[in-house]
Amino acid sequence: MSDEWSVLSGAYEDVLLPRFQPLYNFLANLILKHIASSPQEKKLRLLDYGTGPGEPLLTIVKLLKDNQIENIQYEGMDLSSGMIALAQQRLKNFQIDLNHSDSIANSETYAFIVSSLVLPYISNKNQLLQEFYQHLNNGGLLITCHWSKASQVAFLSILKRVILFMTNNQESVEGNLDDDSSFSCANEELTRSLYEQQGFRIRDWLHFKLSMSFPDIRTFLSFARVAPWFNDENLYLKAESEAKRILTEEHGKNFFENKSFQLENDAVIIIATKN
């Protein structure tokens, strides 16, 4: 998976990152509000686990610094070397420790552990949550977010279906994606149980509506630009036709009037503390 994300890092940065920004802004404001409600003089540590190209962490750093909060030591971690390279470039003007790893190797504890759109891709979620628990301060916050199910994350569902169509030459059905691990489709009861088994208390369970706008289908499909079909004119037209079919038939988009379109997505944000 780390090599796959390295290959996709450029497309991720160009296509998805700017459209995830409202979510990153929301997460940063959650941290700001928590710090403002109980200001402390001592140094606080914040870890962004799975920082990707560094935009979530950059958003947090900028917001806290803009609000004169300077007593934070920031760290970022990601398994993908390609993502870490992008993060190093994006965060070069700040003193931030960035580590190419998937496990917290130090003995430090953190006031905040943030992990956005990462947990669904982890094969052993219990182990990761246990690691978060061990490295979270008493009174600290674990803030994670992920997609709930295929029907609530339109952009990823359509992309996956087009890719499957180009691979298998067969139309796919959205419901068939609900078992895909990358969607983290466990219902709320199972997800809560997962956190509670590791000793966390879920303080807040939030739903965040993320609207994503695209100027045209090619921009939307360019996330898959490493695929052979994207740069083959005939094959690309086939992929575009399938994307247009899904967008028209299932999402009510009218491409006769406008090339641009907007997709609505629903992210789950979990704020947890130690019991």
Q: What is the DSSP letter of 222?
A: G
Task: List the domain range (segments joined by +) for residue 64.
Answer: 2-148+184-211+264-274
Take residue 19 and report the two structure tokens written for it: 């459209």
Q: Are residues 75 and 10 in the same domain?
A: yes
Q: Are residues 50 and 114 in the same domain?
A: yes
pLDDT tens digit sequence for 177-211: 555 555 555 567 888 898 999 999 999 999 999 99
- Backbone dihedral angles phi then psi of residue 86, each to the nearest 5 degrees: -65, -40
Q: Are residues 11 and 47 in the same domain?
A: yes
Q: What is the band of 147 on the pLDDT scale with cuts at 50, 70, 90? A: confident
Mean pLDDT score of the chain = 87
Q: Are residues 69 and 141 in the same domain?
A: yes
List strands edge to edge, sheet with 136-147. Answer: 97-100, 72-78, 44-49, 110-116, 136-147, 261-274, 200-214
Q: Are residues 221 and 104 in the same domain?
A: no
DSSP string computed for 138-190: EEEEEEEEEE--GGGBHHHHHHHHHHHHHHHSS---GGGGTT-GGG----HHH
Take residue 54 and report the two structure tokens written for it: 């560094």
CATH code, domain carrying 59: 3.40.50.150
Amino acid at 74: Y
Q: Are residues 75 and 35 in the same domain?
A: yes
Q: Are residues 102 and 172 in the same domain?
A: no
Is residue 265 predicted with pLDDT exceeding 80? yes
Q: Are residues 85 and 199 in the same domain?
A: yes
Which residue did the predictor score with more confidence, 211 or 38?
211
Q: Are residues 109 and 166 in the same domain?
A: no
Q: Are residues 28 and 104 in the same domain?
A: yes
Q: Are residues 45 and 35 in the same domain?
A: yes
Is residue 51 predicted with pLDDT exceeding 60? yes
Q: How many domains does the chain have?
A: 2
Q: What is the band of 121 on the pLDDT scale with cuts at 50, 70, 90? A: confident
Give the DSSP H or E segment for 208: strand 200-214
